[in-house]
Structure 1
Amino acid sequence: MSELPALPVTFRPGRTRAVLLTAATSIFVVVSAVALLLERLSPGERISFVLTAALLSGVVLMLARPKVVADENGITVVNFASTRRLGWPEIVQVNLRVGDPWVFLDLSDGTSQPAIGIQPGIAKEQAIADARTLRALVEARSGHDPETSRS
């Protein structure tokens, strides 16, 4: 990699996110329109339809939430229902192996943290490039030698 990006930098699955945001909007609009167009529904049933549409859209929006934000002090991993802040020294290795659904971060405490914000689903090449960039940032800022970390 020739040059590291300026920090802060955000990694997220752009195409997947666009599809999910479109789906959430479509679900809400279609179900709400059905509620308003069905003449036999009572006001309570119409409200129930709209609330159900909002709930379904909210679930889809949660799926669009993942991202990884790198800044001067470390990274913030935002997954579907959780957020975790990691300092650069805590990250030993960035992994995106063939068949992995997303990037995994090997941590200095011996655990692994999924980073769902970098996923090869729809845009495999972009995910690979993002994983390489994050790996280069970790290697440059953490002080870990990747060759000795792979034991």
Structure 2
Amino acid sequence: MTGPVPPNPPALPVTWRPRRNRAVLLAASALLAAVFVGMALVLPPSWQLNDRIMLLCLGAVFSGVGLMLARPRVVADPEGVLVVNLVRSRRLHWAEIVRVNLRQGDPWVTLDLADGTSLAAMGIQPSGGRDQAVRAALQLRDLADERGATSEPATA
């Protein structure tokens, strides 16, 4: 990662999400829902009730996909990090995060974890602005470095 180094980690809690993508997806989902409801209401009388219900269901499915795509975020708080991706969420303790990666060309931040695996953090992505994503990744890295050194992972 390159770019300006933030002077201090941000105050907790902090949430990072792709704002531009989210705004477009939420607006498109609302528009899709309205269009499909409107179509179901203005269909000619020759269309049956099951046709109208199918249109409403299609609108709900398309809107649901848009809402699902708008879900990603990364939330840091004193206890750790919540990574919310498209379908799954994962709660991490600070000590579980070994490295925060955002390389040139990466679609989003990747977290290297203490168990040897990696986790995509889709809430920080350059598609909404490279400088903003680099700044967020650096802040998350600084928080992980600062908090991971002073905490122990939770044991089950």
> Identity across aligned pairs (percent)?
51
Where does residue 26 of structure 1 map in the other structure?
31
Residues 97-136 of structure 1 show CA distances to partners (whole Å, capped at 9, x for unaligned) of 0010000000111110000000111322211111111111
The alignment's TM-score, normalised by the length of structure 1, stands at 0.91
| Residue number in structure 1 paired with 2:11 | 6
Query: Partner of 2:112 in structure 1?
Result: 106
Matching residue within 20, 27, 38 for 1:15: 20
AA in 1 matched with 2:40: A
> TM-score, normalised on structure 2?
0.88
Shift of the alpha carbon at 1:3?
2.0
Name structure 1 gaps, 5 residues minimum.
145-151
Q: Distance in 2 between matches of 1:14 and 1:124?
A: 13
SS at match of 2:126: coil
Does the 8 Å contact 2:112/2:118 carry over to 1?
yes
**C-alpha distance in 2 between matches for 1:92 and 1:122:** 25
SS of the residue corresponding to residue 101 of structure 1 reads coil
- What residue in structure 1 maps to residue 137 of structure 2? 131
- Residue 137 of structure 2: SS of its match in structure 1? helix
Runs of 4 or more, structure 1, over 4 Å off, are none
CA contact (8 A) 1:35 1:41 kept: no
**Whole-Å separation in 1 of the counterparts to 2:38 and 2:129:** 33
Task: Give 1:1-151 correspondences, 5 Å limit.
Answer: 1-39=6-44, 40-143=46-149
The count of residues paired between Structure 1 and Structure 2 equals 144
Q: Deviations over 1:45-103 (max 9, x none)?
A: 11110111011100110000010010101101000000101101100000000010000
Distance 1:37 1:124 in 2: 44
| Greater relative contact order structure (CA < 8 Å, 6+ sep) | 2
Paired residue type of 2:16? F
Secondary structure of the structure 1 residue equivalent to 2:32: helix
Report SS of the residue matched to 2:139: helix
